[in-house]
């Protein structure tokens, strides 16, 4: 199984250029992490809830997955592909990398 990924700079360029408007962005962090810093365009579905919420995810659109550093989102991408959702892209470096690009310190 090969998981697609995107460099955080390319992801942010696509997001800011409206190239992702037909895509879905899922943040798989926990609510307390989301409250600290998140993308307005993203939907929060914590990693542990993904199995119970598979029906909410589209199979006909790209799904970009983000977490704190790119590890949990990679695991979620693997899980989704194993369960028939193929159009998943992991954001390398997660919110830590995105925050750095936006000049925000995220730990």
Q: What is the set of active-site residues?
A: 67
Structure token pair of residue 38: 């998140």
* Residue 14, helix vs strand vs coil: helix
Strand partners, 27: 44, 66
Contacts of 14 (CB under 8 A, 6+ apart): 6, 20
Q: How far is CA 74 from the centre of its chain?
A: 9
């Amino acid at each position: 199984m090969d998981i697609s990924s995107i460099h955080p700079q390319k992801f942010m360029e696509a997001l800011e250029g409206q190239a992702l408007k037909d895509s879905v962005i899922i943040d798989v962090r926990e609510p307390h992490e989301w409250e600290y810093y998140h993308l307005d365009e993203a939907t929060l579905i914590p990693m542990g809830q993904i199995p119970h919420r598979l029906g909410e995810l589209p199979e006909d659109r790209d799904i970009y997955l983000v977490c704190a550093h790119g590890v949990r989102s990679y695991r979620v991408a693997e899980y989704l592909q194993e369960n028939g959702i193929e159009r998943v892209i992991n954001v390398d470096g997660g919110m830590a990398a995105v925050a750095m690009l936006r000049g925000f310190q995220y730990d």
